[in-house]
Amino acid sequence: MWVMTAELRYVRVSGPRRLEELTEDEQAPAPDGVVVDITYGGICGTDVHGYTDGHMLPPAVFGHEWTGRVSAVGDEVSGLRVGQRVVGGVGPACGACGQCVAGHARQCDTVFAEANGVDAAAPPHGAFATRLRVAARRVIPVPDALSDVEAALVEPATVTFHAVRRTAMELGALAVVQGAGPIGLLTAQHARNAGAGRVIVSEPSPARRNAAAQLGFHDVVAPEGLAEVLERAGNGLGADVLFECAGVASLLQPSAELVRRGGTLALLGFPLTESTVSYGDWQSRELRVVGSLAYNHEDFVGTMGAIAERRIDVAALHTGTIGLSRLGELLEELDSGRSTHTKVLVDPRS
């Protein structure tokens, strides 16, 4: 039986560069849902954009990286128990939507809506909160081998697992990762796991280049040095796969030009402005362009397995923890472009 224990406290975006902290009486879980006490919520670039813009994000997406413990379980829920550690994710393919019925389960409409916080059961706020009511299918148990910090970083690691998986990269491939923020650093590790023969990381920030080097990447360069290193590594042909993780619209065509004829341009960064590209260049060189957004349920399973087996290091990205009261201050710092942080977690209990 569910019992009210404490007041719910959460932070949401209320306008451009404006946050408000609200409190509510606790509510019981939906019959097919659970209540999760949040341990950590991760701050990502999407949260920063949503904060500065003021209206672009569905409410559930502001604070979409989270881990916690189940504190209440709905009457219709099986397989989850009070006290269990979980992360927020997406459910398995529903089997009933148009995509699933057509045989395209990896593009399930239900899962896509969950990933983007627009499904009918999406919570009214994200996990910059003490508690979250969420559909049970969105909750994924955490293996004992993962620490709470590692669990808090499962979601961004899953975004990048999904992207690398979608490229179907060949063993021994020459890969370039453009941008060494959290997404780039995780992408580089997954690419290495996927069998890339060489991974070149390009990043303008010295602190982030150092973070890549600490993760064992030897070819870490500033953007102005990338073309020369790639020229030598690829014998003048270009990259087999280039992962664009910076999300800068003006970089899209220059990034494509670093890919060899017949190679793959993988798009992870999400520019907020339109991009101009040379369609003829892409067509004449037969580039394979792979867009990637969010993930599937099985990507979470694969990602947590990789972390548990120590094939990727997510804890190394954690550079700070703050309380809810400092969220606005940290979002401003991250938006400034001058922050030395890689990944900051929010502890709503502090």
User: Residue 342 in contact with residue 3, Cβ under 8 Å?
Assistant: no
Residues 163 and 234 grouped into a single domain: yes
pLDDT range class, residue 94, cuts 50, 70, 90: very high
Q: What total number of domains does the chain contain?
A: 2
Residues 217 and 135 grouped into a single domain: no
CA 319 to chain CA centroid, nearest Å: 17
Asked if residue 263 has pLDDT above 80, the reply is: yes
Residues 233, 255: Cα–Cα separation, whole Å: 16
Mind listing the pLDDT tens digit for each residue in 315-331? 999 999 999 999 999 99
Mind listing the pLDDT tens digit for each residue in 59-77? 999 999 999 999 999 999 9
- The pLDDT of residue 1: 36
Please list, in sequence order, all residues whose beta carbon lies within 8 angstroms of the beta carbon of residue 46, skipping any fewer than 6 positions away. Answer: 57, 61, 64, 270
Residue 159: both structure tokens together: 């975004």
- The pLDDT of residue 26: 76
Residues 244 and 336 grouped into a single domain: no
User: Residue 92 in contact with residue 105, Cβ under 8 Å?
Assistant: no
Instruction: Note the pTM of the prediction, 2 decimals.
Output: 0.94
Asked if residue 255 has pLDDT above 90, the reply is: yes
Q: 285 lies in a domain?
A: yes
Q: 104 lies in a domain?
A: yes
Find the domain containing 14 and state its range: 8-153+314-346
Asked if residue 140 has pLDDT above 90, the reply is: yes
CATH of residue 38? 3.90.180.10
Asked if residue 134 has pLDDT above 60, the reply is: yes
Residues 240 and 178 grouped into a single domain: yes
Percent of the chain, pLDDT > 70? 98
Mind listing the pLDDT tens digit for each residue in 179-218? 999 999 999 999 999 999 999 999 999 999 999 999 999 9
Q: 220 lies in a domain?
A: yes
SS3 30: coil
Residues 17 and 148 grouped into a single domain: yes
Residues 118 and 140 grouped into a single domain: yes
User: Residue 63 in contact with residue 41, Cβ under 8 Å?
Assistant: yes
- The pLDDT of residue 6: 66
- The pLDDT of residue 131: 96
CATH of residue 187? 3.40.50.720
Exposed/middle/buried for 276, CB within 10 Å: 0-12, 13-18, 19+?
A: exposed
Asked if residue 20 has pLDDT above 70, the reply is: yes
